[in-house]
C-alpha cells in the first residue's frame, strides 16, 4: 500500500502590523488606447473591456455577437496611468515597494518616467523596489501590449519546432498561440467560452513601506504524529530584514481554544530570513477535525502569531487553523489487475461527489464574493463534496478557498487550505498527444513524448480520478434573453450557431434526445425554441444521472476486473457566459435540471435501479458513517393513471455504512405480470428507501422503454398555488395525470427550488422556492411557468 499523508492548514485574514505602512493605489485610473483616440476613467482592479462597458463606450460584451464585434479591443495596446500623492514622508522609510498582485498580462511599468520593471505573467505577484524613485507627487504608467499580438510574436520567435495547437478550431471563434503566453488560457476561447483576451490591472496594487524588518509571508502545516498520537503544528515565517544589525525579540503563538501559548526567542540576521517553529498540541486536549460536506463539521481554530521585536517593533498576524488528514490509498484489489484509488479523510474512506469548476466570468472584476458564495453554496446544496479547479483558467482568489473551507468542499488545486486534497496536473495533454489531436508530424512525436515524460512523470507525477464525463444542454430562455433579441430565438438561428463552440454540438444534442424522446412539435417558433431548450436539459440530466449512478453502485464490487469506484466528478459545474455547454449551473448561477438531478443522485442514501439481461436490480448506496435500517418500496404505475398498479415493500434490512449492495432483484417479465396489463411501453417503475415509514432517500425511477415509445402518457393539467412562509415561498402543485420531468420556472427571478425536473406520480406535491434576492408572491405568479414532457408534443 502506498500511503500519502497530506495535512494542511488554511490561512485567512491578517492582523494589523506596526512598523509598516500600506497605501492602496486602487480606484480611479486613466485608461487610453494606443493612438489616444479613446481616453477615459476606469477602475482598478478591472480591465479594459469592463471599463469601456461601464463608461458606455460599448454594449455588454456578452450581448449577441460582441465577442467578434469587439475583437479590436484585444488587438490594441492600452495604457493605464495615474497621478497620486503619497500620504507619508518617504524619507522616513528605509524600504518602499510597489506591489502588483496581478497584471494582465504583458506590460512595461514606469514610475515618474523611470522604467521600474516589466510583466509577462498574469498569475505572478510583482514587487518593485521604488525607494529611490518615489516622490511626494508621482505619476505611474503601465504600457500594455496586446496579448494576442504578443503570443503571435512569441510563436514566430520560437523556431526550434512547432508547438501545437497553433489555433483553436474555427467553431470556437478564438485567437491563436495561447500556449505562448502565461495568461488565462480560455480567454483566447474554448469549446464552452468566448474569446476576450483582456488587458488591465486585474488585482490589487499598493505601496508598502517599512523599517528594520518586514514579515512578508507565513505558512503552516499541521502534522499528525501517529506514534505519539498527537498533533504538531509547523510554522514558517519569512522576513525581509533591512536593518544592518541583527534584530532580536520574541515570537508568540496563541491558540486559545486549544490552550496554547508558546513563546520563543528569535534573532533575525540581515537579509531574507526564515523563522521556523514547531508547536505540539497537548494530546489530552481534544482537537476537532475538518470534514468534507456531508461527513461532519468544518471546525477551525483562531490562531495569533505575535512578534515583539527590538526598537518597539510589533508584528501581528492571525489565521484560521483547520486540522485534518488525507490519505491516498493505492493497494491491490482481489479480482482486479489494478490498484485501488481512493481517499481517506481523517481515516474514513470518502466517495468523492462533485464537478469541475471553470472561471465564472471572462472579466474577473465581475467575480464578486457574493457570486462565489452563491455558486459554492449551490455545490453543497446538491450534496457535492469536491470540486476540480480546471487548469486553463486562473488561480482562484483566496475568498474561493476560504468559502470551500467553510462549506466543506474538497478541491483539486495547490494551496494551503484544508479543502485542498490533491495537487494535480495535465488537462487532456496525454490523450491529445497519443491521439495526435493537433496533427503533429510523426517524425516529431518522440520529441513531444520526451517533453511530456519530463514534465508530468519526472516532475508532476500526475494523480488522476474517475474519467471526466458530461453532456451538453442549452441554458434557460431567461438566461439567453438577456444577451439576444427576438430574431435569435430559434434553434437554427445565426445566434444559436454562434454561441455553440463545440463542433456539431447543436445537432448532437437533438440526435441524442431524438433517440429517447419525441422532439418538440410546436408551430409557434418561440414555443418551439423554449421546448427545445427544455428537452436538451432533460437529456443532459438523464445522461449524467445514468453514468453517475453507475459509478456510485460500483463502489463495493468488482465486475470483469473493474470496479471499487470511489469518485464521480462530471464536467462541468458552471458557465462563463450564456451559451450551450456541459454545465449544471448557468451563467449567474441558475440551476439547470442537471443540478437538481445531482442533488438526488449525490444523496447520502440512494436506491439505484438498472436492468441486466432481463433482470431489474435495485442497489442501495450509503455514504453515511453508520449502518441504516431501511426498507425499499417499489411501485409500478401505468402512464395513464395516478393510482399505482402494484407496490411492494421489503422487510427491514441493514444497509451498511459506506457500501453499495444489491437489495432487490426481479425479472422484468415477472414484475410486469404482477400488475396485470403492464407492458414495457405503458408502465414505469419508481422506488425509494424509508425508515419507520419516513422516506430517507430521493424517489428514483426506472424506464422500461424509451419515453418516445411510452403508451398512455397524457398531457397533464398542472396548477400551482403560491404562498409565502418567511423568506421562502411554497408552491402547492396539483396535476391531472402522471407528469415526467416537471419543470418549474420563474424566469429571471433569482433563486432555486427544493426540487425540480421531478416525476409527479401523485395528485399533489409541495415544492419550496428559495429566493436569492427579495421578491414577492405577485412577481412569482406573473413569472411562473410549468412544463412537463407531454407539453412539448
- Return the SS3 of 714: coil
Query: Residue 399: pLDDT band by 50, 70, 90 thresholds?
Result: very high
Distance, in Å, from the CA atom of 714 to the CA atom of 708, rounded to the nearest integer, reads 13
Query: Residue 427: pLDDT band by 50, 70, 90 thresholds?
Result: low
Catalytic annotation present for 428: yes
CB atoms within 10 A of CB 700: 21
- pLDDT per position as a tens digit, 620-646: 999 999 999 999 999 999 999 999 999
Distance, in Å, from the CA atom of 325 to the CA atom of 224, rounded to the nearest integer, reads 8
Closest alpha carbon to 118 in 99, 134, 142, 96: 142
- For residue 267, say if its preceding peptide bond is cis, omega within 30 degrees of 0: no
- pLDDT per position as a tens digit, 666-723: 999 999 999 888 999 999 999 999 999 999 999 999 999 999 999 999 999 999 999 9
The CATH H-level superfamily of 604-712 is: Immunoglobulins (2.60.40.10)
Assess whether pLDDT exceeds 70 at residue 438. no
Query: Which cell is 790 given?
Result: 407531454
The CATH class for the domain spanning 20-206 reads: mainly beta
Asked if 267 and 382 touch (Cβ cutoff 8 Å), the reply is no
Strand 558-559, strand 95-100: pairing: unpaired
- Return the SS3 of 447: helix
Asked if 203 and 399 touch (Cβ cutoff 8 Å), the reply is no
DSSP output for 203-239: S-EEEEEESSEEEEEEEEEEEEETTTTEEEEEEEEEE
Distance, in Å, from the CA atom of 179 to the CA atom of 341, rounded to the nearest integer, reads 32
What is the structure's pLDDT at 418?
76
Query: Residue 458: pLDDT band by 50, 70, 90 thresholds?
Result: very low
Closest alpha carbon to 410 in 377, 395, 388, 378: 388
Label residues 633-648 b or e (16+ Cβ within 10 Å = b).
bbbbbbbeebeebbee
Among 211-225, 336-350, 457-471, the range scoring the smallest mean pLDDT is 457-471
CB atoms within 10 A of CB 8: 22
Assess whether pLDDT exceeds 50 at residue 6. no
Distance, in Å, from the CA atom of 691 to the CA atom of 693, rounded to the nearest integer, reads 5
Task: From the candidates 83, 276, 331, 428, give the one annotated as an active-site residue.
Answer: 428
Q: Is the pTM of this model over 0.95?
A: no
Asked if 270 and 244 touch (Cβ cutoff 8 Å), the reply is yes
Assess whether pLDDT exceeds 90 at residue 425. no
What is the structure's pLDDT at 17?
43
Query: Which cell is 493 given?
Result: 438561428
Closest alpha carbon to 310 in 372, 374, 260, 244: 244
Asked if 595 and 382 touch (Cβ cutoff 8 Å), the reply is yes
Task: From the candidates 101, 257, 468, 557, give the one annotated as an active-site residue.
Answer: 468
Q: How far is CA 630 from CA 552, 606, 633, 686, in A?
A: 19, 11, 10, 17
Question: What share of the chain has pLDDT > 90, as a percent?
Answer: 88
Assess whether pLDDT exceeds 70 at residue 212. yes
What is the structure's pLDDT at 162?
85
The CATH class for the domain spanning 212-322 reads: mainly beta
- Return the SS3 of 666: strand
Closest alpha carbon to 597 in 468, 721, 484, 741: 741
The per-residue pLDDT of the chain, averaged, comes to 92
Averaged pLDDT for residues 723-743: 98
What is the structure's pLDDT at 696?
98
- DSSP H helices, 554-617, are 593-601
Give the residue extent of every domain in the chain. 20-206, 212-322, 604-712, 718-787
Averaged pLDDT for residues 243-266: 96
What is the structure's pLDDT at 2?
34
Q: In which element (H, E) is residue 374 found?
A: helix 369-381
Catalytic annotation present for 611: no
- pLDDT per position as a tens digit, 123-182: 999 999 999 999 999 999 999 999 999 999 999 999 988 888 899 999 999 999 999 999
Averaged pLDDT for residues 64-80: 98
Closest alpha carbon to 95 in 138, 137, 133, 140: 133
Q: What is the 3-state secondary structure (H, E, C) of 376-413?
A: HHHHHHCCCCEEEECCCCCCCCHHHHHHHHHHCCEEEC
What is the structure's pLDDT at 160?
87
What is the structure's pLDDT at 450?
64
Label residues 579-601 b or e (16+ Cβ within 10 Å = b).
bbbbbbbbbbbbbbbbbbbbbbb
What is the structure's pLDDT at 435?
52
- Cβ-Cβ contacts under 8 Å for 515 (sequence gap 6 or more): 706
User: Cα–chain-centroid distance for residue 719?
Assistant: 36
- pLDDT per position as a tens digit, 184-201: 999 999 999 999 999 999
Distance, in Å, from the CA atom of 134 to the CA atom of 741, rounded to the nearest integer, reads 65
Asked if 230 and 218 touch (Cβ cutoff 8 Å), the reply is no
Same fold, 212-322 and 718-787: yes
CB atoms within 10 A of CB 396: 21
Angle between helices 398-407 and 369-381 (to 10 degrees): 30
Assess whether pLDDT exceeds 90 at residue 436. no
**Given 2.30.29.30, 2.60.40.10, 3.40.50.300, 3.50.50.60, which CATH number is that of 718-787?**
2.60.40.10
CB atoms within 10 A of CB 144: 25
- pLDDT per position as a tens digit, 569-609: 999 999 999 999 999 999 999 999 999 999 999 999 999 99
Amino acid at each position: 500500500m502506498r500511503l500519502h499523508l497530506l495535512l494542511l492548514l488554511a490561512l485567512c485574514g491578517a492582523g494589523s502590523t506596526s512598523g509598516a505602512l500600506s497605501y492602496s493605489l486602487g480606484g480611479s485610473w486613466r485608461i487610453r488606447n494606443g493612438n489616444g483616440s479613446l481616453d477615459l476613467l476606469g477602475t482598478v482592479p478591472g480591465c479594459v473591456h469592463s471599463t469601456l462597458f461601464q463608461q458606455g463606450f460599448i454594449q455588454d460584451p456578452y450581448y449577441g455577437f460582441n465577442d467578434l464585434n469587439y475583437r479590436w479591443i484585444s488587438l490594441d495596446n492600452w495604457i493605464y496611468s495615474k497621478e497620486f500623492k503619497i500620504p507619508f514622508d518617504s524619507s522616513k522609510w528605509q524600504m518602499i515597494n510597489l506591489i502588483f498582485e496581478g497584471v494582465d498580462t504583458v506590460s512595461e511599468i514606469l514610475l515618474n518616467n523611470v522604467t521600474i520593471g516589466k510583466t509577462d505573467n498574469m498569475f505572478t505577484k510583482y514587487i518593485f523596489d521604488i525607494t529611490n524613485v518615489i516622490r511626494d507627487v508621482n505619476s505611474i504608467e503601465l504600457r500594455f501590449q496586446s496579448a494576442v499580438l504578443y503570443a503571435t510574436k512569441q510563436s514566430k520567435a520560437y523556431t526550434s519546432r512547432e508547438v501545437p495547437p497553433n489555433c483553436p478550431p474555427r467553431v470556437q471563434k478564438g485567437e491563436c498561440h495561447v500556449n505562448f503566453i502565461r495568461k488565462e488560457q480560455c480567454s483566447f476561447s474554448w469549446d464552452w467560452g468566448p474569446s476576450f483576451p483582456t488587458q488591465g490591472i486585474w488585482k490589487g496594487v499598493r505601496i508598502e513601506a517599512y523599517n528594520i524588518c518586514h514579515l512578508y509571508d507565513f505558512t503552516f502545516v499541521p502534522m499528525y504524529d501517529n506514534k505519539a498520537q498527537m498533533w504538531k503544528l509547523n510554522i514558517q515565517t519569512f522576513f525581509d530584514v533591512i536593518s544592518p544589525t541583527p534584530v532580536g525579540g520574541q515570537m508568540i503563538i496563541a491558540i486559545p481554544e486549544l490552550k496554547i501559548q508558546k513563546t520563543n526567542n528569535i534573532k533575525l540576521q540581515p537579509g531574507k530570513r526564515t523563522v521556523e517553529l514547531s508547536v505540539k498540541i497537548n494530546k489530552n486536549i481534544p482537537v476537532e477535525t475538518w470534514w468534507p460536506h456531508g461527513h461532519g463539521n468544518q471546525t477551525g481554530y483562531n490562531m495569533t502569531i505575535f512578534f515583539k521585536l527590538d526598537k518597539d517593533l510589533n508584528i501581528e498576524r492571525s489565521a484560521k487553523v483547520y486540522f485534518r488528514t488525507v490519505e491516498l490509498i493505492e493497494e491491490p484489489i482481489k479480482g482486479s489487475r489494478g490498484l485501488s484509488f481512493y481517499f481517506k479523510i481523517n481515516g474514513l474512506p470518502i466517495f468523492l461527489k462533485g464537478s469541475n469548476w471553470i472561471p465564472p466570468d471572462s472579466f474577473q472584476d465581475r467575480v464578486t464574493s457574493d457570486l462565489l458564495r452563491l455558486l459554492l453554496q449551490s455545490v453543497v446544496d446538491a450534496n457535492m463534496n469536491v470540486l476540480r479547479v480546471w487548469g486553463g483558467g486562473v488561480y482562484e482568489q483566496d475568498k474561493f478557498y476560504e468559502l470551500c473551507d467553510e462549506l466543506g468542499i474538497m478541491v483539486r488545486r495547490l494551496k494551503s487550505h484544508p479543502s485542498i486534497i490533491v495537487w494535480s496536473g495535465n488537462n487532456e495533454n496525454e490523450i491529445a498527444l497519443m491521439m495526435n489531436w493537433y496533427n503533429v508530424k510523426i517524425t516529431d512525436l518522440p520529441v513531444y513524448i520526451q517533453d511530456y515524460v519530463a514534465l508530468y512523470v519526472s516532475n508532476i507525477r500526475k494523480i488522476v480520478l474517475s474519467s471526466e464525463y458530461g453532456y451538453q444542454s442549452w441554458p434557460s430562455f431567461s438566461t439567453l434573453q438577456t444577451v439576444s433579441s427576438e430574431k435569435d430565438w430559434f434553434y437554427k438561428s445565426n445566434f444559436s450557431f454562434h454561441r455553440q463552440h463545440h463542433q456539431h454540438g447543436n445537432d448532437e444534442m437533438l440526435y441524442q434526445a431524438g433517440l429517447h424522446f419525441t422532439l418538440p412539435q410546436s408551430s409557434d417558433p418561440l414555443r418551439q425554441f423554449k421546448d427545445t431548450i427544455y428537452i436538451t436539459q432533460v437529456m443532459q440530466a438523464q445522461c449524467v444521472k445514468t453514468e453517475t449512478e453507475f459509478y456510485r453502485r460500483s463502489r463495493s464490487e468488482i465486475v470483469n476486473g473493474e470496479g471499487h469506484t470511489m469518485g464521480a466528478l462530471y464536467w462541468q459545474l458552471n458557465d462563463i457566459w450564456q451559451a450551450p455547454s456541459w454545465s449544471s449551473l448557468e451563467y449567474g448561477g441558475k440551476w439547470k435540471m442537471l443540478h437538481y438531478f445531482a442533488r438526488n443522485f449525490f444523496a447520502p442514501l440512494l436506491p439505484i435501479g438498472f436492468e441486466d439481461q432481463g433482470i431489474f436490480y435495485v442497489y442501495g448506496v450509503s455514504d453515511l458513517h453508520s449502518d441504516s435500517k431501511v426498507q425499499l418500496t417499489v411501485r409500478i404505475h401505468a402512464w395513464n393513471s395516478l393510482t399505482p398498479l402494484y407496490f411492494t415493500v421489503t422487510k427491514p434490512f441493514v444497509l451498511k455504512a459506506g457500501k453499495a449492495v444489491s437489495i432487490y432483484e426481479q425479472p422484468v417479465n415477472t414484475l410486469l405480470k404482477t400488475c396485470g396489463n403492464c407492458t414495457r411501453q405503458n408502465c414505469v417503475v419508481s422506488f425509494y428507501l424509508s425508515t419507520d415509514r419516513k422516506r430517507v432517500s430521493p424517489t428514483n425511477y426506472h424506464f422500461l422503454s424509451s419515453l418516445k415509445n411510452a403508451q398512455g402518457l397524457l398531457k397533464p393539467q398542472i396548477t400551482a398555488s403560491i404562498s409565502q412562509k418567511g423568506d421562502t415561498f411554497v408552491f402547492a402543485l396539483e396535476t391531472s395525470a402522471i407528469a415526467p420531468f416537471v419543470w418549474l420556472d420563474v424566469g429571471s427571478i433569482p433563486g432555486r427550488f427544493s426540487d425540480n425536473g421531478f416525476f409527479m406520480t401523485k395528485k399533489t406535491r409541495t415544492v419550496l422556492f428559495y429566493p436569492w434576492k427579495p421578491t414577492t408572491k405577485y412577481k412569482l405568479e406573473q413569472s411562473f411557468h410549468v412544463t412537463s414532457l407531454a407539453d412539448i408534443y
